[in-house]
Amino acid sequence: MTSTYTYSYTRTHTATHLTDVILGTITDILADLGINMDRLHRDWVQNENAIKAWIEEGSLDTVVLECHQPSGAVAPVIEFPVSYTTSGDGNAEFTASRARAARFRAKFDRVPMGTTYRLFCTFNGPRTPQPGWGTGHRASIDGLRGITFGTLGSAPHASTGMRYFHN
């Protein structure tokens, strides 16, 4: 019984940690790009609970941030893929990645005033429905160039990275 409890306890902490990493980075990106974050703040608990639950159950594949420009263009698009493992240590990697992530974000293309955002999640299988989250359609990333950041944060049993797609 102890191993089940330890695994469950660790998985919960991993989910909390990675959710904080993903939502914290999304907040930083929106602030850097000058995109209004009122809705992000309003829906914070709902988003946090959903992403955490999906990581904890292992169903979350990717969190996607799409920037919708007034012209109709959708760019940049930032993906946060989640990988699941049987073990790992995330504290040192997360600490090192925050500074690297800030330098990486500094290279992001600027967006015009009035740009808004949408969040999507993709899944690797069945998932538990979460309040405020339904089905949607991602914008195509065809024609966008991609840059992979690498590991953004890791913890026992899972990690997340970041991919940036731009014109």
The boundaries of the domain holding residue 115 are 2-166
Query: If 0-12 CB within 10 Å is exposed, 13-18 middle and 19+ buried, where does residue 77 land?
Result: buried
Q: Which of 10-19, 38-47, 90-99, 149-158 has the lowest mean pLDDT?
A: 90-99
| pLDDT score at 98 | 74
Q: What's the DSSP call for residue 7?
A: H
| pLDDT score at 7 | 46
> Rounded to 10 degrees, what is the CA torsion of 150, 153, 30, 70?
40
- For 54-111, the pLDDT digits (tens) are 999 999 999 999 999 999 999 999 999 999 986 555 454 454 477 778 888 888 889 9
Number of domains within the chain: 1
| pLDDT score at 157 | 84
CATH of the domain at 59: 3.30.900.10
For the chain, counts of helices (H) and of strands (E): 4, 5
What whole-number distance in Å separates Cα of residue 20 and Cα of residue 47? 11
The residues near 32 (Cβ < 8 Å, ≥ 6 apart) are 105, 106, 108
User: What is this structure's pTM?
Assistant: 0.89
The residues near 9 (Cβ < 8 Å, ≥ 6 apart) are none
What whole-number distance in Å separates Cα of residue 4 and Cα of residue 10? 10
